[in-house]
């Protein structure tokens, strides 16, 4: 997408529209994007369809006060609220993230007066989804944008559209996510209550069924006789939290599994682990896996996830 020549010296206005600021890879990627854009060239704002969420303060700390169009995702006034925002602050580029936001911006592009639209896909385009609502939305999408971004080559290839497409890999701060000295790791492990002989297997991120937390629990349950010092550390929150806790009780793993909840110090949580597990069944580009690799952890990964990370070298700055 080539921007038209500018007639003034003002900064390029970019409005990022995202479903919510709840915990998720798209939100993490957007936070990194907002932090990296040169403020002398771009005037950036963030709007969430509903909120607030756990990422709100993280955006505020880097100078972005998010605009929330509604308090819940089923509010029918969301399109009108977005229209009011676009009229009050017309952007040069509207950058939509995740399916509902892309749907809203693409379907209402003309009446909303969106000049240039970027749709950003963070998971593969899939047919026959169990989620019929999302399946319907995706069948209508990625036709009315000027540029379609995907977080991996596999995601880009999954989109059956003739729209101009590009890959924009997710990025992490390799100074933040790096192997720590053993004495620092030992101190962090003590804070979490782990003994030196414990083997800590961990997962970070949103707790939803497709991330495979239950599968990892079953694996640890099968290991107990051979590896009684194996422990599980789950970092994150999400709708699968309560069912997962119930499953842990069914498997009699209460003494082996810890739920750390939402944490901003993910680098410290990773330092408490020996092994990182990623058992996802649906993934575009798992930021959590790249963070674990950069932190020097041994990683056990499902075949589906590995397809999207096999070519990445975590010491390659272009990848990380």
Residues 81-115 pLDDT 10s: 999 999 999 999 999 999 999 999 999 999 988 99
Does residue 3 have a pLDDT over 60?
Answer: no
More confident residue, 63 or 284: 63
Q: Hunting for tokens 């990773």 — which residue is that?
A: 270
Domain 182-307 has CATH 3.40.50.2000: yes
Does residue 77 have a pLDDT over 70?
Answer: yes
pLDDT in the model for residue 310: 45
pLDDT in the model for residue 2: 44
Domain ranges across the chain: 12-167, 182-307
Q: For residue 304, name the pLDDT band (cuts at 50, 70, 90).
A: low
Q: Whole-angstrom Cα distance, residue 61 to residue 208?
A: 27
Q: What is the CATH number of domain 12-167?
A: 3.40.50.2000
Q: Compute the residue count for the chain.
A: 320
pLDDT in the model for residue 10: 85
**Of the candidate ranges 49-53, 131-135, 277-281, 300-304, the one whose mean pLDDT is the lowest:** 131-135
Calculate mean pLDDT across residues 214-235. 93
pLDDT in the model for residue 128: 57
Nearest CA-CA partner of 266 in 295, 240, 244, 306: 295
Residues 135-186 pLDDT 10s: 778 888 898 999 999 999 989 998 888 899 999 998 899 999 999 999 999 9
Q: What is the pTM assigned to this prediction?
A: 0.85
pLDDT in the model for residue 160: 85
Q: Would you say the CATH fold of 182-307 matches that of 12-167?
A: yes
């Amino acid at each position: 997408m080539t921007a038209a020549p500018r007639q003034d010296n003002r900064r390029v206005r970019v409005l990022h529209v995202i479903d919510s600021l709840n915990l998720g890879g798209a939100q993490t990627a957007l936070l990194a994007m907002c932090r990296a854009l040169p403020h002398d060239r771009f005037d950036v704002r963030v709007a969430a369809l509903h909120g607030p969420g756990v990422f709100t303060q993280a955006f505020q700390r880097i100078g972005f006060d998010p605009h929330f169009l509604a308090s819940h995702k089923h509010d029918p006034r969301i399109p009108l609220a977005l229209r009011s925002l676009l009229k009050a602050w017309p952007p040069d580029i509207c950058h939509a993230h995740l399916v509902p936001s892309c749907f809203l911006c693409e379907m209402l592009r003309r009446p909303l007066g969106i000049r240039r639209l970027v749709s950003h896909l963070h998971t593969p385009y899939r047919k026959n989804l169990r989620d019929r609502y999302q399946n319907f939305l995706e069948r209508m999408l990625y036709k009315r944008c000027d540029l379609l971004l995907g977080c991996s080559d596999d995601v880009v290839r999954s989109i059956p559209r003739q729209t101009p497409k590009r890959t924009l890999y997710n990025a992490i701060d390799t100074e933040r996510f790096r192997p720590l000295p053993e004495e620092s790791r030992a101190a962090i492990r003590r804070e979490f209550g782990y003994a030196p002989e414990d083997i800590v297997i961990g997962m970070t991120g949103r707790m939803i069924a497709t991330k495979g937390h239950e599968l990892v629990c079953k694996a640890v349950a099968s290991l107990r006789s051979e590896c009684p010092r194996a422990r599980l550390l789950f970092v994150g929150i999400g709708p699968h939290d309560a069912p997962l806790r119930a499953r842990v009780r069914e498997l009699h793993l209460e003494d082996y599994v810890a739920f750390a909840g939402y944490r901003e110090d993910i680098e410290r949580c990773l330092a408490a682990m020996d092994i990182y597990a990623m058992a996802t069944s649906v993934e575009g580009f798992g930021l959590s896996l790249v963070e674990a690799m950069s932190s020097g952890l041994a990683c056990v990964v499902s075949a589906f996830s590995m397809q999207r990370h096999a070519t990445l070298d975590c010491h390659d700055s272009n990848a990380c």
